[in-house]
Amino acid sequence: MLTFLKPDLWKLLLTFALLVVSSILWRMYIVSHISDTFPMGFPLQFYLTWGPCQAEQNCSQSNGVFLIIDLLFWYVVSAFVLDRVRRKITTHA
Protein backbone atom coordinates (compact mmCIF):
# COMPACT_ATOMS: atom_id res chain seq x y z
CA MET A 1 0.00 0.00 0.00
CA LEU A 2 2.70 2.50 0.92
CA THR A 3 5.25 1.17 -1.55
CA PHE A 4 5.46 4.61 -3.17
CA LEU A 5 7.39 5.75 -0.06
CA LYS A 6 10.32 3.44 -0.80
CA PRO A 7 13.41 5.68 -1.15
CA ASP A 8 15.20 6.25 -4.43
CA LEU A 9 17.54 8.88 -5.81
CA TRP A 10 14.83 10.92 -7.58
CA LYS A 11 12.69 11.16 -4.45
CA LEU A 12 15.65 12.34 -2.38
CA LEU A 13 16.70 14.90 -4.99
CA LEU A 14 13.18 16.23 -5.32
CA THR A 15 12.84 16.35 -1.53
CA PHE A 16 15.92 18.54 -1.11
CA ALA A 17 14.95 20.70 -4.08
CA LEU A 18 11.47 21.29 -2.64
CA LEU A 19 12.92 22.05 0.80
CA VAL A 20 15.37 24.60 -0.61
CA VAL A 21 12.91 26.26 -3.01
CA SER A 22 10.12 26.48 -0.43
CA SER A 23 12.54 27.88 2.17
CA ILE A 24 13.85 30.51 -0.24
CA LEU A 25 10.35 31.55 -1.33
CA TRP A 26 9.13 31.72 2.28
CA ARG A 27 12.20 33.74 3.27
CA MET A 28 11.61 36.17 0.38
CA TYR A 29 7.98 36.61 1.41
CA ILE A 30 8.80 37.21 5.09
CA VAL A 31 11.69 39.59 4.33
CA SER A 32 9.42 41.63 2.06
CA HIS A 33 6.99 42.11 4.98
CA ILE A 34 9.30 42.09 8.02
CA SER A 35 12.69 43.54 7.21
CA ASP A 36 14.68 42.31 10.21
CA THR A 37 13.63 38.63 10.37
CA PHE A 38 15.29 35.95 8.22
CA PRO A 39 13.64 32.51 8.48
CA MET A 40 14.57 29.21 6.84
CA GLY A 41 12.15 26.33 6.48
CA PHE A 42 8.65 25.79 5.24
CA PRO A 43 6.08 24.66 6.39
CA LEU A 44 7.90 24.72 9.74
CA GLN A 45 10.58 27.29 10.43
CA PHE A 46 13.70 25.38 11.49
CA TYR A 47 16.15 28.31 11.52
CA LEU A 48 15.61 31.97 12.30
CA THR A 49 17.92 34.96 12.52
CA TRP A 50 17.00 38.51 13.30
CA GLY A 51 18.75 41.81 13.58
CA PRO A 52 20.24 44.24 13.98
CA CYS A 53 22.23 42.35 16.54
CA GLN A 54 24.90 43.42 19.01
CA ALA A 55 28.22 41.56 18.86
CA GLU A 56 27.73 39.85 22.23
CA GLN A 57 24.13 38.76 21.55
CA ASN A 58 22.90 35.56 19.95
CA CYS A 59 20.34 36.60 17.35
CA SER A 60 19.48 33.23 15.89
CA GLN A 61 17.74 30.03 16.86
CA SER A 62 17.36 26.62 15.27
CA ASN A 63 15.15 23.61 15.81
CA GLY A 64 16.34 20.20 14.63
CA VAL A 65 12.95 18.58 15.15
CA PHE A 66 11.33 21.07 12.77
CA LEU A 67 14.05 20.35 10.19
CA ILE A 68 13.33 16.61 10.39
CA ILE A 69 9.58 17.21 10.12
CA ASP A 70 10.12 19.48 7.09
CA LEU A 71 12.29 16.83 5.43
CA LEU A 72 9.67 14.15 6.09
CA PHE A 73 6.89 16.38 4.79
CA TRP A 74 8.73 17.17 1.55
CA TYR A 75 9.74 13.52 1.15
CA VAL A 76 6.11 12.40 1.29
CA VAL A 77 5.14 15.14 -1.18
CA SER A 78 7.92 14.17 -3.59
CA ALA A 79 7.09 10.46 -3.29
CA PHE A 80 3.44 11.17 -4.06
CA VAL A 81 4.24 13.43 -7.03
CA LEU A 82 6.75 11.01 -8.53
CA ASP A 83 4.36 8.08 -8.04
CA ARG A 84 1.64 9.94 -9.94
CA VAL A 85 4.04 10.94 -12.72
CA ARG A 86 5.35 7.40 -13.07
CA ARG A 87 1.81 5.97 -13.20
CA LYS A 88 0.84 8.46 -15.88
CA ILE A 89 3.92 7.61 -17.95
CA THR A 90 3.33 3.84 -17.71
CA THR A 91 -0.34 4.12 -18.66
CA HIS A 92 0.46 6.21 -21.75
CA ALA A 93 3.37 4.08 -22.90
Inside any domain, residue 89: no
Instruction: Provide the domain limits for residue 65.
Output: 8-84
- Cα distance between residue 62 and residue 66, in whole Å: 9
The structure's pTM equals 0.87
Inside any domain, residue 93: no
Strand order across the 60-62 sheet: 37-40, 47-50, 60-62
Q: What is the pLDDT of residues 46-76, one digit of tens each?
A: 999 998 888 888 899 999 999 999 999 999 9
For the chain, what is the domain count? Answer: 1
pLDDT greater than 80 at residue 77: yes
